[in-house]
Amino acid sequence: KNQVEQSPQSLIILEGKNCTLQCNYTVSPFSNLRWYKQDTGRGPVSLTIMTFSENTKSNGRYTATLDADTKQSSLHITASQLSDSASYICVVAGGSYIPTFGRGTSLIVHP
């Protein structure tokens, strides 16, 4: 069964600090992995997308890594801002038409 597990479930950090969110998946075959940011009450917005051959992808202060061998990905946020407070969702696409979603990590950035 295809699954995507994210950790931690929630995280609280101080503004300006860095943090790393984790995503482990069992989706097979693997096509790509995406990270989405979802502000409260809004639709998810794509941050990064990585295919099998890509190890790292950056989008401003967001850097995603992928280890296709261990089926793990991480999202690193540098110099966090209050606007980074949101839910971060890992989505893995495989051979089927339907991508598999993680439950998300809720990040709260305090001033």
Partner 1 sequence: DAGVTQSPTHLIKTRGQHVTLRCSPISGHKSVSWYQQVLGQGPQFIFQYYEKEERGRGNFPDRFSARQFPNYSSELNVNALLLGDSALYLCASSLGGSSGNTIYFGEGSWLTVV
What stretches of the chain adopt beta strand conformation (E)? Answer: 4-7, 10-14, 19-25, 30-38, 45-51, 56-59, 62-67, 72-77, 86-94, 100-101, 105-110
Q: Of 1-30, which residues contact partner 1 (CB under 8 A)?
A: none
Q: In angstroms, give the least distance from the CB of 79 to partner 1.
A: 26
99 binds partner 1 (CB under 8 A): yes
Residue number with CB closer to partner 1 (19 or 102): 102
Name the segment binding partner 1 (CB under 8 A); options: 18-26, 41-49, 54-62, 75-83.
41-49
